[in-house]
Amino acid sequence: MNSSSQYGDLATQLLTESRRSTTTNTLLKYNDVLVRAVVREQRDLEARLEAALARSAAPPDPDAPAPPPAENAYMPTVLLYQTAILRNKRCLLAYHHHRLEFLKDLYWSVGGALPLLLSLPPAAANPHAGPNANAQAAAAAANAAAMGAGAAPQDVRSKLSPHEVDFLRNYADSLLALRTDAFSAAGGAGGGGAGGAGNGATEDIDLLAPISHPPKDLQVHVRVVRDCGVVHTELGAIDFRRGHRFLARRSDIEHLIVQGYLEES
């Protein structure tokens, strides 16, 4: 360990990153180097703690003066190492918990479209985009922030660790299982009995639908912001091409509005 630093300084840097991420509402790149440095410090502290405990348990030197009763010269050292270990653990847990909660918010902000979240391109100028493309992106981010859900940042995949990508996939699978087993008409019908038959007659509950502003109309006028191809709705197939306007059932295209392909007009 560097003589100019103290135990816990590296873990404090992780908390500083989390605080900066919260202040700017931005997902920072996973600091794998700093996390590994804290883990190495943990192992060094554990080795020093075990050595101190071993020395305290060793039989006293017969030539040395006997210490006073109930006094152990190694206890302050043991307490120091143990306190540093516990603090580093809390800092590591706080850093990763903050990132996981941020990832959950991003997942819900794109309507549960995990492939879209992981495939967002870097925030660079698009030569094929119109002159108002950047203004539209800024307006979309402002609208999302006003609705209480932060807009999904650009190039999310490069900021995640492999374990965080696995967490997002497992989180999406868990929500899909919950939606299928507990909130879908098919799952309710499989419950058996009169209650199961009654649940099967109801429509599926969309867990990923936004609830910040409850819809007032069943149908909505939308403008296509990004091409999303042909979408099959209850009224037939609709080819959503950029710049076109349509009137469609909100329940059929709600996920496209949340994901940023369409916007209400």
CA distances (Å), origin 29, targets 10, 23, 26, 107, 137: 17, 15, 10, 17, 22
Q: Which of 216, 217, 212, 218 minimizes the C-alpha distance to 258?
A: 212
The whole-number average pLDDT for the span 209-229 is 75
Q: Which residue has the higher pLDDT, 139 or 251?
A: 251
The CA distance from 39 to 34, in Å, is 9
In this predicted structure, the answer to whether residue 18 has a pLDDT above a threshold of 60 is: yes
Contacts of 182 (CB under 8 A, 6+ apart): none
pLDDT digits (tens, 9 = 90+) for 179-217: 777 766 555 555 444 444 444 434 556 666 655 566 667
**pLDDT higher at 134 or 244:** 244
> Contact 244/224 with Cβ under 8 angstroms?
yes
pTM over 0.85: no
